[in-house]
Chains A and B, each alone.
Chain A
Amino acid sequence: MLAMLLRRLGLGAITVWIVSVIIFVGVEILPGDACTAFLEREAKGKLLENCREDLGLNRSAITRYAEWAGNALRGDLGVSANGQKQISELVGFRLRNTLLLASGAMLVGIPLALFLGIVAALWRDRPMDIMVSTTAIAAMTIPEFVSATLLILVFSVWLGWVPGIVLTSANAPLAEFFPEVLLPIGVLTLVMTAHILRTVRSSVIETMASDYAQMALLKGLPYWQIVFRHILPNALLPTINVVALTIAWLLGGVVVIETVFNYPGLGRMMIDSISDRDLPVTQAIALIIATVYVGVNLLADLLTMIANPRLRTVHMRRS
């Protein structure tokens, strides 16, 4: 158990390390650097040389990578190219705002998805299931900017219930984001719920067909006892991983949603930094998002391991 735990941690760390190399090499092979972006048209001759000298860009790539990665490990993400501000300060509030969105969506989405998924599975192929499943397919396949725009049109333009755009500044206290944050949370919840409930549904259906569930049924156990004692504990196990994947996806999908709603989160900051060619900020955000992705997946694997005695000993899938 402990050995496997360490192995998983090690693999996660290796993945994050490879990500950092990809990010660094990716930025490295792109034309231009922090100095050409900062100086723009003036980027030539002495000025460019001085700037590169100042930022240490004329040292070898390996030295610079070591410095960047070493600092990042200590939480120092460097300074932004245009504002010369500490990136960790810039990122702090943005990360908090994105976490507000994500946690709001998870708080509503996960219980809702479990409930709807189980209901759809237990009443399989009935009108209720068909309605839930069809809505889920639509919600998860339609691009986020389409569902976001549609929700703005209905709930903000037509009904006037909630604001359709966020005007609060990035470092405002959390309370000021209400009620503006409700629609973005709604869109995220919609997509997230759809993904999770599909898995819950098929997992419950699969478990219901298993031998031990059939056995329990033939023994004459009450239906609801079978559902709660035999089916759900086993069926919900694979859900942990899907929830993790969905949270990880959410970090990418949130970029579009934040842009639609003008929400000052990490995703919009990423788009802005890419458009401004602020490479240090882009690198930092990429590293944060990838680390969260790997971390969440790791956590899901560990939870699955703890919840499922069989997996504690058997070599894990997808190791």
Chain B
Amino acid sequence: MDDPATYQRPGPLARFLTVISDIVSRPSGAIGLGLVALHLLLALSGPWIVPYSFTEMNAGLMLSQPSSAHWLGTDHLGRDTLTRTLLGGREAILVTGIATPLAVLWGGLLGVFVGLAGGRLDEVLMRIVDAFLSLPWILKMLVLIVTFGTGIEVLIPTLAFFYGIPVIRIARAATHDVVARDFVQAARARGHGRATIIWRELLPNVRDALLVEGAMRWSWMLLAFSSLSFLGFGVSPPTPDWGLMIADARGFMSFSPLGVLAPMVGLSSLIIGINLTADALAKALGIDRAQKAPV
């Protein structure tokens, strides 16, 4: 056992490494984290490793079968499918990569605050959260996107806003678990203000729950983002994007199934990777995460 006199709390880096090694020690976690890392690496290095330009069209090679020049064939405009698949996640990762932390941040802070404050405010806010959750995500998002446009400057705040709402509930529940404990009572007795209690006592204790929630939100946001692209309300052409590519190639499935299969593999592997990682992260942090339907 550690001697309390000499025991030192592990630093953030040590803690981070412990969690990572815990994730990797599970087969599903290792696969998941590997997939996510691969996709991030690809998103960063993509433009330098792809064989063609993603806009380069070749009228003589429309919907061609796989060949040594085009390993996965070409699409209906004669563009290289491999190139577009490798680049197809960049926009999605960029948008959701910014929107996810924003969602967790605002939803988390508000949830912790009302969890501590309680009372009327809490009652009213939770009813509003319930009301928002009872509307399908696609309706909420589409109304804003159709009005304000489909650029990333609209998509990021829209995703961050709507996906932060369920986080409020998670953060509030996690706060309720902590608020009754002795150390919070002690901080109250010491006369600390609300801000100090939130910052010093509550946030460090709900952080793990929020991390896991954030990982899940990320995968649901990707799902939303690519679904919007697929429906024609997301990324605009000619930007390569998996959702858009699948929508475009759908009409030519019988001639060139690879046109839909390649972006499907790209998108699915990233989303499955995130989910496996989130599950392993939850286990590593000891968070009991009930499986819920995406909202």
Contact = CB atoms under 8 A, between A and B. Distances in A.
A274 B272 contact: no
A153 B271 contact: no
Contacts, number: 130
A195 B131 CA distance: 23
Contacts of A23: 135
Interface string A133-171: 000011001111110011011000100000000000000
Interface residues of A, number: 52
B293 A157 contact: no
B246 A145 contact: yes
B231 interface: yes
B168 to A, nearest CB: 14
Interface stretch (B63-71, B83-91, B199-207, B260-268): B260-268
Interface of A: 11, 14-16, 18-19, 22-23, 26-27, 30-32, 137-138, 141-146, 149-150, 152-153, 157, 195, 198-199, 202, 242, 245-246, 248-249, 251-252, 255-256, 259, 270-271, 274-275, 277, 282, 285-286, 289-290, 293-294
Given A157-B254, A199-B291, A271-B142, A146 B264 contact: yes
A161 B293 CA distance: 31
A274 B141 CA distance: 10
A157 B130 contact: no
B219 interface: yes
25 contacts: A16-B131, A18-B128, A19-B131, A22-B132, A22-B135, A23-B135, A26-B143, A138-B272, A141-B223, A141-B272, A145-B243, A150-B264, A152-B250, A153-B253, A153-B260, A195-B291, A245-B292, A246-B293, A252-B136, A252-B137, A252-B138, A285-B139, A289-B134, A289-B135, A289-B136
Q: What secondary structure prevails in chain B residues at the interface with A? A: helix
Interface in B157-216: none
Given A19-B131, A145-B246, A286 B253 contact: no
B275 interface: yes
Given A15-B131, A251-B136, A277-B146, A259 B231 contact: yes
A286 B135 contact: yes
B134 A15 contact: yes
Contacts of A146: 246, 264, 267-268
Nearest to A19: B131
A36 to B, nearest CB: 12
